[in-house]
Amino acid sequence: MKEIMTNELMEKIKNNENVNVIDVREDDEVAQGKIPGAKHIPLGEIPNQLDKLDKNKHYYMVCRSGGRSGKACEFLEQQGYNVTNVDGGMLAWTKDVEK
């Protein structure tokens, strides 16, 4: 599984690269904040939301710490999607934002 560090993803966003971020956390977690521009699809809904994802696009999957997004990556890779797990998830993102 491909992984990216949060600081690398931040650079892509700062450089206005076209990044597609999918946040797989639950509603109450996302309500506390998410990566700007991220699309919210809870992990349990991913199998039923495949029609919202384009196999020709690359997606960065994020959750709280990287576990659920890793599961989402494994599932989506099996379905033929190009995905990368955000290592450390929102915990790492928040620490990098505070630097």
**Active site amino acids:** 63
Tokens of 9: 């993803």
H/E stretch holding 62 = strand 58-62
10 three-state secondary structure = helix
Is 56:80 a contact under the CB 8 Å cutoff? no
